[in-house]
Each structure stands twice: as structure tokens, then as C-alpha cells.
Structure 1
Amino acid sequence: MGPKKNRIKTFIGELPKNIFSGFVVSLIALPLGLGLAIASEAPPISGIIAAIVGGTVVAILGGSNVTITGPGNGLVIVLLSAITTLGGGDLYQGYLLTLGAIVISGILMILLGFLRLGILSDFFPASAIQGMLAAIGIGIFAKQFHVMVGQIDTKGSIIELLLKIPAAISNLFVSAPMEVMVAAAVGVGSLLIMVFYSKIRNKYFQLIPAPMWIVILTVGLSYYYQYFSSDPYPISQKLLVSLPNDIVSNLAFPDFSKVLDSNFINAVIAITLISSIESLLSIKAVDKLDPQKRRSNVNKDLKALGAATTLSGFLGGLNVVTVIARSSVNVNNGGSNRSANFFHALFLVLFIVLFQEQLKRIPLPALAAILVYTGYKLAAPESVRRVSKIGNEQLLIFFITLFSTIATNLITGILIGILTTFLIHIIINRSLSLFLGNALKPNVLMFKEGDKGNYYVSVKNFCSFLNFYKLKAKLDAIPEDKEAVVDFSMCDFVDHTVMESLNAYQQTFMRKGGNFEVIGLDAHEADSVHPFAIRKIIPFQTIIKVDKNLTKRQRLISEVAKDFTWSYEPKKERDVSFLYDFIYFETKQIKHVYNQLFDQEKELNLFDIEYSEGEFIAKEVIRSTMLFIKIDGAMPVFTLDKEGFLEVIYQWAGFKDVDIEAHSDFSKRFYLRGEDEEGIRRLFTDELVLFFESNPYYHVESNGDHLIIKNKERLASVKEIKMIIDFGLRLKTIIQKQLVC
């Protein structure tokens, strides 16, 4: 009974955090749900129904921990195609028939879960998936751009819609009526909010997500015209969100009359395939963000998503998938279990019940702007640059998948991407027999070696997206706090998808105290220096040279090193395991540190660091400067930040602020937390409190024997580097003296 009671106590204790996180996620889910439904030519309420049903059902039946479910970006193109094709010109009838396809798709997803086919995501090449996602992004962008500028009647294929964009812009300045120009201004203004939102480093402003700011401002604009302006509201009714007055009595029900029609069957297959891929990839990505590093039961989650999709379809909602952007927001706001998903759904119900009139005032161009930005993020030039760094063959796979998806459909596009990848692998290795002759042979051997029970895994012949599931099954069976060695010395070829997956395992093992090492690739060559590049025995082309010239800032930092008689190392260092014990990095992915300054004893290390928050389209890369300090002796684990409104909310959500007696001013100005409250109070003597009160604010964190000090979420200037070094040296002296006493 003890463990069960502890789980219940933990659940109740974490409830405030999950309620708060669910609320924040709902602020994003509301406008996105409306926008995704409208982009699919479905009634706006269908997107909200999917989010409510998904959040409720998956929270109860799911196998993941911190994911959020609802309508997804990837299905917009599929649903739009299904509604327009099945309806034969009647969009509402097409919507009812598509609901039937959604219901059957949900049943198929349940079946996939029972058949334990969660491994399906491992059969898709990474670059082909990137190409497919970019094609989805371009499709969303092409359609929603015209809505964003108030021209909602523009029709055509993706290519036709892209070609019509210059004319749409020209029309605004030549022949567009005033109501269209005002709608376009609202749409462009909303897009600017989406673009520049992340640039505003004000934590109070960012308490409200960018999509909800758009809703608040545009709804506020309509009230301004109603109560404060003599002019009529300049946006016509057809450019506003349409919701039924009585949602319950107006629920739509699926139509199965074309269940044997080839177009209906194609729609079911497409919805099932893309739903499964998007969900499985999102689950894998969100697992990396989970502070507790739990591993989701993907097959159980597939069954829950299928059940939610089936119910959503019967109630008139879109299909339900795991969504990466909203899941990232959930993790970053303290969501720790599936209850956050449930509360996000509950808040959406409250919004629909309490603010139905306000939702009808949202302009369609504003919602389209959110999707235009989403489409751009999916197909951003950065994706092309990232793929090109891995290798030219990956860039070829990416573009072939992208263009074939745009020219045909998602299923055909991804199949062409898979076939292209397979053919390129054959050409690179100059051998068809390597793949056909060994495809069905067992190529992975695993056993424990030595008294310590270390795991040794040997891979032979080839390892690619075609048979990675075999290696993955073995690696998943290894406890992540153990030692694992994966040997590719008997393997002729390792593809990009496998190399990227192996890197994910290395990161997970490091975080959980284990060690994951890949050996046997010394004889293999690659066509780029990227760590995810394909590896093969036969030579391919010359490895790219790396430019080692220092920038002006780096030269100045090296001069600082000389002033302090420290050592300077400008190159990137990817071994960042020394940072994993700090709470600050629990929900962040560290890429590398560089520009490191070491003192002679290597007890102080100042470095630039690159890390990211969130995943997928919600991913934000941050570069900052930090100081790492070794302390001789044991000190309590604590985090110290400047007190603010956000910290007050954290306290309500369960993060307790440790007050220091007789220092009320310090307690008001600083937010101090940690589990060992008595130890923290002993450490924070009058001298240490006075030090913090009389110096600039820094984020200071202890993991027990080391400190990290950070100022801003940007790279520090050389002057700021000298200031943080001075601050750190004096802080180390005071704490060291306290521990000796």
C-alpha cells in the first residue's frame, strides 16, 4: 500500500502545477483548434471538439506522460483533400463523409495499437519525414496566406495557390475593397505578433501565448468599434468565426454512405497513416523533454488516440493526434502527468461555454496568420540548411519527397521518399545484394559481459531505416543507468536515420547516469563531418574542412583568459554531462558548449552554451554565457532567482519559496527554493545575503557540489564576462568559507 499511497500523494501534490500548465496550453489550443478546422474547410467547432475529446480520453487511457492531444498540423492537407474530394463541391457533405473516414481511421489506430505496431515510425527515413513535413508546411502556407490577406475565396492546388500570392498582394493595393484591406491589416498584424513574440524577453508579457494575444487584441478591436467608435466594424461577417448558438444540438454525425468508394478508402488510409506518423514522432520527441525521463508506451497511446479519434468523429470533431508544440509548452510550464492534458480539455469546455460570443468576433485572417507562421516554421529554410549539412544525398531525399508530396499527395510523397532513400543507399554502397540478401537475416546480437553486467551489442551487415527496429528492440531493453557498447565493426553501412537515433540514446543514457558508447566506425567514411552523416566502408568523397579562424569576440575572450592567467578553448565540446544534474536543464536539450575559459585548477569554467527549449515547430534555440564553479564540500541544492510575478504563480503551483529569517527585504527581492530548507537557511548567512543584495541579479543554482551562474538568455559581452567572473570568484570565496565554518 505504501507505493500506491505515495503515487496518490505525489499526484495530489503536483495537481496545482498541472492545472496551471493545462490552462496555459488551452490558451494556445483554442485559437489553433479553430484555425486548423477552418483551414481544413471544416466547421470551426470541430477542431475544439477534437481537442476536448482527445484531452479527456487520452488522459484516461493513454500511455504517455506529458503529451497534449488534439487536432494536428499534419492532417490539414489530408482533411482538406478529403472534404473537397468526397463532397464533390458540397463542402458540408464532404465534411460529414470525412467524419466517417475519421471514425474508421480511429478504429484502425486501435487495431495498430493491439498489434503493437508502434514501431512503424522507425521505418520512415528521417530526411523523407522532414521533406513530407516541409510539404505540409508549404501547403498550409499556400492556402492560409490568401485567407490572411482577406481573400478567402481563392481556390486551387498548392502550386496554383503559391503562384497566386503575388496577385493577392497586388490586389490589396489596386482593387481590394476597404473591408478586405482592414482584414488583411489584421492578418498581417497577427503574423507580426507571431514572428516577434519570442523576441520580447518580458516574462509577464509571455505569460500569455502569442496566439491568445492575437485573440485578445482582435476581439478587443471589435468591442472598440461597438462601444467607442461611430464607424461600423469594418470586417464583414463572412470573415469572422462562425459557431452554432447551441453547440450540443448542432453536433454533426458521420456519413458512411461512401464507405466502399475508392476516394473514401484513400482518405481513411491517408488519415490513419499521417495520424500515426505525426503522433509517434511527437511522442518520441516529447519523451526527450520529460524531466523524469519516462518512456511512453506508444502502443497503449495508439489505442487511446484511436479511441479518441473514433469518439471525436462521432461527435463531429476532427481526428486526434499527439501535438508536439502544445506538448512542449506543457513540459515548460510544469506539466508532470496526463492530468495536464485533461485540464487543458476542461478549460476549453469553459471557454466555449463562457466566451462563445467573444469567439464569434475572431477574424479568420487572424487565425490564418497563426497557421501561416506554423506553415513557415515547418518549411523554413533552416530545415534545408540543417539537412544539407548532413549530406548531399539527404538533401536529395528531402527535395524529392517534398516536391512529390506537393505534386501528388502525402501517401504517394512519403512512399516516393522511402523508395528514393532505398535507391540512394544501393547506389552509395554499389550493392543491391547487401540489402536484399541480408534484409531478413538477424543482424543484432546482444549479451552482458563481465561481472558488472555491461551490455554489448554487435551489429553486422547493414543498419538502416529498413531494419533499425531490430537494433531498437535490443537497445530499449537495456536499463538506461547501465553501461552499453554498440559495435558496428562488422557492419558495412549505417544510415542517417540510425545515426540520429543513436545520438538520442546517448543523450538519454547520459541523463540517467549510464553510458552509451558507439564503436567500430573507425574504418567507415562519411561525406560530411556532421555526426548524423551516413557511415559506409567504401570511400565516397573528401571530408569537408572546418574553418578554425577566431572571431573578434573570441580574440577578446582569449585576451581575458591571459589577464586571468586562464586557459581558453574555442572549439565546440559536446560532452556536457557535467550540466545534467542542474534543475535548469531538466527540460532543455543541450547541443554543446564552446569558448571555454578554465582557471589553472579547472575549478571555474566560463563558457558559451547552445541549448533549446521545446521541440519541433515550438523549438527555440538559445545561446547564453554561463559560469560553472566547483565547491569543495557539500552544500544544499538550491535555485536563486529574482522575485517576480511569475515566481508568485510558481509558488501557488507548488514551488515553495524559502524565506530567510531577519532578512525580509531579501525574501521579497529573491525567489529561493530547494528541498533542504534548513540546510539552505544555514548556508544563507548575513554575509551571503548581503552579497546577493549588493550585487547585480544572476540566476544561481547549486547541484550539491557545483554552481552555475547565468545572467541573460543571450551571449555575454566581454565586459559582462569580466563581471560574471568577478561575481563568481567572490561568491565562491564566501560559500567556501561558510562550508568550512
Structure 2
Amino acid sequence: MTSKPLNVSVWRQDVLASFVVFLVAIPLSLGIAVASGAPVAAGLIAAVAGGVVAGLIGRSPLQVSGPAAGLTVIVAELVQTYGWRATCTITLLGGLLQIVLGACRIARTALAVSPAVVHGMLAGVGVVLVLAQVHVVLGGSSQQSALHNLAELPGQLAAPRPHSALLGALTVLMLLGWSRLPKSGPLRLVPAPLPAIALATATAWSFGWDVPRVELPETLFGGWGAPVLPDGSPVAVAGAVVSVALVAAVESLLCSVAVDRKRPPGTPRTDLDRDLLGQGAGNAVSGFLGGLPIAGVIVRSTANLEAGARSRASAVLHGVWVLVLAMSCGPVIEQVPLTALAALLVVLGARLIDIAHLRDLRHHREAPAYFAALVGVVVLGLGEGVLVGIAVTGLLALRRLTRLAIRVEHLVPHLEDRPGPVRTHVVVEGTLTFLGVPKLTRHLQDVPPGASVDLDLNVDFMDHAAFDAIHQWRLAHERLGGRVDIDEVHEAWYERAVTGEMSSPRKSPPPSRWWAPWANRRRRHEQELDAPEVSPAAVLLNGVREYHGRTARLVRPIMAELAMEQKPQHLFITCVDSRIVPNIITASGPGDLFINRNVGALVPRHGSRTPDDSVAATVEYAINVLDIRTITVCGHSNCGAMAALLAGGAEVQHLPGLSRWLKHGNHSLARFLATDPSGDDTPPLTRLCKINVMQQLDNLLTYPWLRQRVESGEIELVGLYLDLQSAEVEILDRATGTFMPVPDDAAQARTVT
């Protein structure tokens, strides 16, 4: 796809944005060069190469490349091991490797590295960077490793050089304070590193403090020499080249993806393969000219984006400004204290340790890989730390693939009036391989001899060892008089093994979310098949057909058991509102709930002037015939019946039957009006919906025969409230008259009521 020609407006935005990025790049490039143990000019050369070469060849419109803090540790190790000129050769070779990878169009495979490892690596680099540069801030020098820096830190803190420490503190305070300025103010147009470094430089120059400063060659390329081959084993050198190429590539690709998510409308997406070619060319040129390795840098790219850039011209121009400054303003740059650059890197390193990423990783249970990479980078080194993180990621993935959950329920009759056979329900979920056979066998051996067993196999794979264990146990259990019914929720691994039909199973379409509304599932179907509109009756029949095809066979054993007798445990009174599905919010199934639904979840009081026996009849049957011991009243947010009560019934005057029924809610309305709302910012409708639940529980107690059984402890009353927007259920604490989240422990839930 060819890019559109730039108009005057776009050029103006790109030129202004390039100046902003240029101001960010100068101090960062100098600081990263110092931290890497490379010549200071190497940072400027890398900034020029990253801007001009990578900007022209790459296809990431808003990404800005240059020396990156994430590569500081690996470059420092290479400089110490091979020397600076050889490190330049490794950078050049790493760039050529990136060009090969980009030409092979495998850029996206680099994204297969878990973000947990990448963020852990960056956090480890941040820790190493902070530990090393704190010594420079305090007037000392960094050691060879992070552990040595940590060990020497107490002594450095005890005897800092005052001038260096003051300049470092001043730089850090300026960086932190600048970020607190109003975003709309004119000062925020200037990036924080520039005024921080400028203030530290001016302070050192004004007071004549003798502190180490930047040293530049007479010209930017004045000390240039041809790169030399590293003196070491070919395997070690190849490993170094691969490390530089892959780490820089992954960091650049992740930066490209992050910038793409924030790009303005009309800006083209990044071509990752072409961008990798640009990164490789930039590294090859930077290494040849004596510069640091480059990568896409999120700090500069974000500054570019926020400054209003619209094309890659901004990144290219920023490299041009760096070249012009380096050629003409060398004496000014040489006044910059190294302490100020070190303080800038301390702040930058601290920001690499992003706690927000860790919170997201904890939700996906990938934090171990993050910490493994972090600790590995700090203790072992960058390459080794990344390998440790990848290894832990592999172990976590293997654990997930072999995870097996087994639940066993022994349904032993314990009531004399409800005799029945011993039944055991065993549910196996996950991947069933030989690794899970010991666990499965242990649970199956606990099944009582002669019991009737419902074995649900909800597995995505079963190997022969697992099949043989189940089959041999089944044969032995049935020989002793027991019965085993096996239901396979997904693919019939056990059935195919028994029949000998072991060909690869046909991939059935993924099951739809049965709990989702018809409209949601039909909308997706229409988008895929462009299906015509159907009548509501046809939608209903489609739902029945889906039930017959997917669900009926799963519930058939349960329904057959319940066909002649129901044994519900709870009477559930709730609203007729279509958004309330009792079996979903209680995770219950057939035979669990005896449900009464009416408008507003109302319970007419005993002896009401407006007679209605439907609810009373339900309660009588549930208590006296079904021997139910718990009655639940469940209200919900945005209840239309409660809204009608608040409106005085004006909206339903044309509906005589509904108007008469809503009179049963007058006690809830009176209770609402008598409640003092001061100090409670809950919306009135929400308060009435919750008060209605309390009132209906009190209405139940107006029936003398029910009140007596409640007071004796035979019947338990429970109040629930469903917030539709959050899909969260709250339970009523009747002692305080407040609703609270349902406790995790079921025993605690009983004590609340």
C-alpha cells in the first residue's frame, strides 16, 4: 500500500513533533551511552541512525527508534567482555540478522515471547540500571554486576560526594515535579528531561562545582575506526549477536504494537516485517559508524504521538536535528554533568518496573514468569534471565495443558423419609493423560462398592493410559454390582476408544454461550451468514432445537431421575423481569429451585384487601408438601414495578390488572418514604428496590403458620439483590438492614442471614 503525499498541515505537525522528540532524545541518548560504558558520541550516532535510517526504511509511522534503556545491560556486558570496537561489530551483525528475519517475514513470531517475560526482562533491566546509576549519582562508579552494586551501595550511601549527590537530587526532583504541571500549560510542551538536565548543568556551571562531565570528540565521527572482530569463541559471539538482534527486535515490535493501539484515525498500521527491516538497517549503520544498538523506544514514541505527529517524517527529522546539534553544539553538551544523566537513568529505570503490568499478569497467573525473568536478569545477566523466564513460561503452559480437576460427591441417603440407593457423582475436567492417572485412580478407589456412579468426562484430550485406567475400574466396579454411567461433555474420547474408532474426531462448531440472550447469538450468526430476519416463534423453536442437539443428552440422566419426583431445596421468589435468570445467579440446575415469579417479587400480606392467593399457594405447597426449609426473596436494580410505585402508578393506569397488583407494593413505598436518606447517595430507585426485598420478607411473616415455623428455626428467610449492570449478587444482613457482598464461605453466608 502506497502512502499518501504529505500536505502542508501534516508537515507542520510533523516538524513541531520532531522538535519535541529531539529534546527528549538528546539527554536520553547521552545517558544511555554513559550507562553502557560506551563513548558518549555513540548515543548520538545511534539516535541519528535510529531516526534517519530506521525512519526512512521502516513502516511504523509514529514509532521513534534510538538507543534504548532495555539494551543497556547487554551492551555493558559486551563492552566489558569484547571491548567497544568489537561491540560495534556485534551490533552491525545483529542488524544484518534482523534484516534476514524481516526478509523472511517472521516478525510476528517474535511476539510469541510471553509479555510476562518481556516485562520481567525490562523490570530486571530497570533494577540493574538503578543499582548501577545510583553509584554515579552519589559520586562513585558502578561495579561489574548488579549484585556487586547492591553490596557496595551501603558504603556509597555512607560517604557520598556532596556536589554530585545534590545535582542528582535536583535532577530527580525536577523530573518528578515537571510531570505534575498542568497538562494544558505551555511548559508541558517541553519534555521533562530537557529542563532537568539544563537546570543541573546551569547549577554546576554557576557554582563552579568540580564534577565529571560529558566528553565529546572534536567531531561526531572524529574518533571513528573500522569495527573489529570480537576475540572470543564463535559460539559465544554468535550468542551475543542473536541476543542483540532478538532483544532489540522484540522490544521494537512490542513498541510498534503499543503505538498502533494509540494511533490517530487515518494513520496506517505498522508493517511489522518491513519495520524489522528498518530496525536491522539502522543497527547495521549504527554499528558501522560506532553507535549503540537501536530499538523502538516507547518514551520517544509516546512523546511523538502526544506532540501530534502524523507520519514517519517526524522520526526522520528528529534524527536530523540530533545530527545538527552534535555537529554544532559540542561545547554546550560537554557542560552536562554525568551525575545529571545518571539521575535521569535512575528515574527511567524505575519506570521500567511497571507495577500495572504485574497486576495484569497476576490475573492471568503469569507472575512467576515475570519474577523469574526479573531475578534472572539481575542475578545472571540479560540473556540468561530471558531464558529463565521463557523456561518458567513453558513450565506454566505445560502445567495448564496437563491440569486436571476431579470432583467427587457421595450422595448417601440420610433421611428416613427419603430412602434411595447410594449414588456417586464424579466430574473430571481438563486434559486427561498418564500424568493424571494416579490422581484419578485415587479418587475412583474411594467410590463405595456397589454404588451407582455418574462419571462426567469434560476433557479435551484423553490418552490410552487414562482410558485404560477408567475402563478397567469400570469393569471391576460393575463386577461388584455397581453401575457406571459415563457422559462425555465434549468429544467422545472414551466412547471412541471402546468402539475402536480412533480416527481424528471431526471438529464440531464451538458451543454457543447458552446463557447469552437469543439476540446476541443471532446477531453473531447474522454477521457470519447474512441470515434473514425470522419470527419470534422461529427463534424459540431454534432454541429448542439447540437444546435437543447439545444439552438434552447431558441432562437426560438427571431428568430421568427427577421425572417421577421433585426434591427442590429452596423456594425462590423473584421478579418476572426477563433479565433475572435464577438458575444462572445461583449456579443451580433442574430440581434445585422451586420458583415463584411475579411483577416486583411481591408477597401479598396475610388478609390483604386485594386478595391474591397465588404466592400464598406456592409457599404453602413448598413448605407443607415439598418440605422446603429456605425461602429466598430476590430483588434487582432498575425494577420497572418499583419505578411505577415511585411514579404513583401513573404510568400503568391504563393496565387495571397491573394497577391492582402493584397495590401490594404500597407497604414497600411507605417504608421507603419513612426512611431518612441523609448521608446516603444511593439513587432513590435503588433504595426502593432494596427496601422492597426487606418488606416482602416481613410480608411473609404476616402468615401466622409461617411465622411460627420461622421463629422456631424450621424455616430460614434469605434476601438477595442482583445489580444488573455489574451482575453481582448481594445478600441481606437482616440484623442491620443492609446488603453486602456474598461471603466466599458458605458457612459465613448462613451466619449473615
Q: TM-score range by the shorter chain?
A: 0.5 to 0.7
Q: Unpaired runs of 5+ in structure 1?
A: 87-93, 173-179, 226-232, 438-459, 463-485, 492-508, 510-522, 524-554, 569-593, 596-741
Give 1:428's aligned amino acid. Answer: R
1:64, CA displacement in angstroms?
1.1
Give 1:185's aligned amino acid. Answer: L
Mapped to 2, the partners of 1:436 and 1:345 lie a distance apart of 57
1:255 and 2:228 correspond: yes
1:158, CA displacement in angstroms?
0.8
Q: Deviations over 1:169-217 (max 9, x none)?
A: 1112xxxxxxx21111101111122223211216222121111012221
Q: Deviations over 1:53-100 (max 9, x none)?
A: 1111122211111110111111100000000011xxxxxxx0111001
Mapped to 1, the partners of 2:432 and 2:24 lie a distance apart of 46
Q: Deviations over 1:288-310 (max 9, x none)?
A: 11112532111111111111111
* 171, 189, 209: which one aligns with 1:234: 209
Q: CA, structure 1 residues 246+418, in 2 after alignment: closer, same or farther (shift >3 Å)?
A: closer
Which residue is equivalent to 1:212? Answer: 194
Q: Deviations over 1:510-553 (max 9, x none)?
A: xxxxxxxxxxxxx9xxxxxxxxxxxxxxxxxxxxxxxxxxxxxx
Q: CA, structure 1 residues 75+434, in 2 after alignment: closer, same or farther (shift >3 Å)?
A: farther
Give 1:206's aligned amino acid. Answer: R
Query: Contact conserved, 2:171 with 2:197, CA < 8 A, in 1?
Result: no
1:427, CA displacement in angstroms?
2.3
Which residue is equivalent to 1:38? Answer: 34
Query: Any idea what SS the aligned residue of 1:188 has?
Result: helix
Percent identity between the aligned chains?
26
Q: Deviations over 1:361-386 (max 9, x none)?
A: 11111011111111111124454444
Which residue is equivalent to 1:165? Answer: 153
Q: CA, structure 1 residues 81+567, in 2 after alignment: closer, same or farther (shift >3 Å)?
A: farther
Which residue is equivalent to 2:100? Answer: 111
1:276 and 2:249 correspond: yes
1:409, CA displacement in angstroms?
2.4
Give 1:141's aligned amino acid. Answer: V
Which residue is equivalent to 2:545? Answer: none
1:419 and 2:391 correspond: yes
Query: Contact conserved, 2:51 with 2:318, CA < 8 A, in 1?
Result: yes
Q: Unpaired runs of 5+ in structure 2?
A: 405-429, 435-458, 462-507, 514-526, 528-550, 552-676, 691-724, 727-753
* 115, 125, 132: which one aligns with 2:121: 132
Aligned residues: 435
Which residue is equivalent to 2:340? Answer: 366
Q: Deviations over 1:625-647 (max 9, x none)?
A: xxxxxxxxxxxxxxxxxxxxxxx
Q: CA, structure 1 residues 402+19, in 2 after alignment: closer, same or farther (shift >3 Å)?
A: same
Query: Contact conserved, 1:137 with 1:377, CA < 8 A, in 2?
Result: yes
Matches within 5 A, 1:343-354: 343-354=317-328
1:286, CA displacement in angstroms?
0.7
1:562, CA displacement in angstroms?
5.7
Mapped to 2, the partners of 1:62 and 1:314 lie a distance apart of 19
Give 2:291's aligned amino acid. Answer: G
Mapped to 2, the partners of 1:379 and 1:277 lie a distance apart of 18
Which residue is equivalent to 1:264? Answer: 237
Query: Any idea what SS the aligned residue of 1:141 has?
Result: helix
Q: CA, structure 1 residues 335+305, in 2 after alignment: closer, same or farther (shift >3 Å)?
A: same
Query: Contact conserved, 1:148 with 1:365, CA < 8 A, in 2?
Result: yes
Query: Contact conserved, 1:187 with 1:365, CA < 8 A, in 2?
Result: yes
1:558, CA displacement in angstroms?
6.8
1:325, CA displacement in angstroms?
1.1
Return the TM-score normalized by structure 2: 0.54
1:406 and 2:395 correspond: no
Matches within 5 A, 1:643-682: none
* 141, 144, 156: which one aligns with 1:156: 144
Query: Any idea what SS the aligned residue of 2:88 has?
Result: helix
1:263, CA displacement in angstroms?
3.5
1:222, CA displacement in angstroms?
4.0
Mapped to 2, the partners of 1:197 and 1:410 lie a distance apart of 32
Query: Contact conserved, 1:66 with 1:331, CA < 8 A, in 2?
Result: yes
Give 1:404's aligned amino acid. Answer: G
Q: CA, structure 1 residues 381+283, in 2 after alignment: closer, same or farther (shift >3 Å)?
A: closer
Give 1:264's aligned amino acid. Answer: V
Worse-superposed segment, 198-207 or 332-341: 198-207
Mapped to 2, the partners of 1:556 and 1:325 lie a distance apart of 49
* 400, 406, 409: which one aligns with 1:428: 400
Matches within 5 A, 1:84-99: 84-86=80-82, 94-99=83-88
Which residue is equivalent to 2:203? Answer: 221
1:359, CA displacement in angstroms?
0.5
1:566, CA displacement in angstroms?
14
Mapped to 2, the partners of 1:278 and 1:57 lie a distance apart of 18
1:358, CA displacement in angstroms?
1.0
Name the Cα RMSD after superposition. 3.5
1:190 and 2:187 correspond: no
Query: Contact conserved, 2:204 with 2:337, CA < 8 A, in 1?
Result: no
Return the TM-score normalized by structure 1: 0.54
Matches within 5 A, 1:627-638: none
Mapped to 2, the partners of 1:375 and 1:121 lie a distance apart of 24
Worse-superposed segment, 357-366 or 407-416: 407-416
Give 2:4's aligned amino acid. Answer: R
Which residue is equivalent to 2:24? Answer: 28
Mapped to 1, the partners of 2:46 and 2:678 lie a distance apart of 55
Query: Contact conserved, 1:138 with 1:376, CA < 8 A, in 2?
Result: yes
Q: CA, structure 1 residues 170+345, in 2 after alignment: closer, same or farther (shift >3 Å)?
A: same
Which residue is equivalent to 1:483? Answer: none
Mapped to 2, the partners of 1:33 and 1:402 lie a distance apart of 24
Mapped to 2, the partners of 1:207 and 1:557 lie a distance apart of 43
Give 2:139's aligned amino acid. Answer: G
Query: Any idea what SS the aligned residue of 1:156 has?
Result: coil
Matches within 5 A, 1:146-545: 146-152=135-141, 154-172=142-160, 180-201=161-182, 203-225=185-207, 233-236=208-211, 239-256=212-229, 258=231, 261-292=234-265, 294-388=268-362, 390-391=363-364, 393-430=365-402, 489=511
Which residue is equivalent to 1:526? Answer: none
Q: CA, structure 1 residues 561+21, in 2 after alignment: closer, same or farther (shift >3 Å)?
A: farther
Which residue is equivalent to 2:521? Answer: none
Mapped to 2, the partners of 1:244 and 1:277 lie a distance apart of 33
Query: Any idea what SS the aligned residue of 1:559 has?
Result: coil
Query: Any idea what SS the aligned residue of 1:164 has?
Result: helix
Report the structure number with the largest CA radius of gyration. 2
Q: CA, structure 1 residues 489+157, in 2 after alignment: closer, same or farther (shift >3 Å)?
A: farther
Give 1:415's aligned amino acid. Answer: L
Q: Deviations over 1:579-628 (max 9, x none)?
A: xxxxxxxxxxxxxxx99xxxxxxxxxxxxxxxxxxxxxxxxxxxxxxxxx
Query: Contact conserved, 1:561 with 1:567, CA < 8 A, in 2?
Result: no
Query: Contact conserved, 1:149 with 1:188, CA < 8 A, in 2?
Result: no
Q: CA, structure 1 residues 488+281, in 2 after alignment: closer, same or farther (shift >3 Å)?
A: farther
Which residue is equivalent to 2:681? Answer: 559
Q: Deviations over 1:677-706 (max 9, x none)?
A: xxxxxxxxxxxxxxxxxxxxxxxxxxxxxx
Give 2:176's aligned amino acid. Answer: V
1:7 and 2:4 correspond: yes
Query: Contact conserved, 2:131 with 2:146, CA < 8 A, in 1?
Result: yes
1:120 and 2:95 correspond: no
- Report 1 or 2 for greater relative contact order, CA contacts < 8 Å, sequence distance ≥ 6: 1
Give 1:52's aligned amino acid. Answer: V
Mapped to 2, the partners of 1:82 and 1:30 lie a distance apart of 23
1:139, CA displacement in angstroms?
1.0
Mapped to 1, the partners of 2:311 and 2:105 lie a distance apart of 23
Query: Any idea what SS the aligned residue of 1:314 has?
Result: helix
